[in-house]
Amino acid sequence: MRVRIFANIFLIVLVMICAGGKLTAQEKSQEKPAAASAPAPTPAANPRDVESIDAIMGALYGVISGPAGERDWNRFRSLFLPEARMGAVRKKPDGAFSASSFTPDGYVERAGSYFKEHAFFESEASRKTEQFGQEAHVFSTYESRNAKEEKPFARGINSLQLFNDGKRWYVVSIFWDEERADNPLPQKYLTK
């Protein structure tokens, strides 16, 4: 009996080798799909940074703002869900619009080298928040400056989705659009 089992196994392996290891359609349909690579784990957050909507918003603006130099990217990453997305509206030279989309790590790659060489201060001018259960939507009007007391060189709105797991807040997504001559900030998003 044992000899017959080993002989059958040997025969199956031999057929697979001779067939070039190709699977039949039926065998392929029974294969498990390859697992998608999991996002990197979120670094531990300072509990004060994520205890409230006010706290996470302050931490978010605070961590990207400062004189030229390296930012605390682990603090930045700690504010986001591992699957979080970021993005922005872009106006093309032909007047059409597109949306860019990237991860928080993509933001670090894009902005990190700029921040090393340039001061950048972004602050919240106004906020409108809607909350239901464990989710919140925040429309945060921002002002960007090269120095703290300088006139803003850019303004716009960060649209954030936030999630609270019962212990802390996370940024799920941030998507922004900048003020332009053809896209002025409405007064309702400039009042606190």
In a domain, residue 24? The reply is: no
152-190 per-position pLDDT tens digit: 999 999 999 999 999 999 999 999 999 999 999 999 999
DSSP state of 190: T
Dihedral of alpha carbons 116, 120, 121, 125, sign? negative
DSSP H or E stretch at residue 110: helix 104-117
Confidence band, pLDDT 50/70/90 cuts, at residue 42: confident
Alpha carbons 147 and 1: distance in angstroms, whole number: 83
In a domain, residue 31? The reply is: no
In a domain, residue 60? The reply is: yes
pLDDT at 15 over 80: no
Residue 163 maps to which CATH number?
Answer: 3.10.450.50
What residues contact residue 147 under an 8 Å CB cut-off, 6+ apart? 119, 121
Alpha carbons 152 and 181: distance in angstroms, whole number: 15
3-state secondary structure of 99: strand
What is the β-pairing status of strands 121-132 and 97-102?
A: unpaired
In a domain, residue 54? The reply is: yes
CB-based contact 143:122 (threshold 8 Å): yes
In a domain, residue 134? The reply is: yes
105-116 per-residue burial string, b: 16 or more CB within 10 A, e: under 16: bebbeebeeebe
Q: How many domains does the chain have?
A: 1
The predicted structure's pLDDT at residue 88: 97
The number of residues making up the chain comes to 192
pLDDT at 71 over 60: yes
Locate 130 and state its tokens: 């809607």
The whole domain housing 82 covers 47-189
73-115 per-position pLDDT tens digit: 999 999 999 999 999 999 999 999 999 999 999 999 999 999 9
In a domain, residue 18? The reply is: no
Nearest to 171 by CA among 137, 142, 130, 125: 137
Alpha carbons 142 and 3: distance in angstroms, whole number: 76
At residue 32, φ and ψ (nearest 5 deg) are -80, 140
pLDDT at 1 over 60: no
In a domain, residue 5? The reply is: no
In a domain, residue 29? The reply is: no
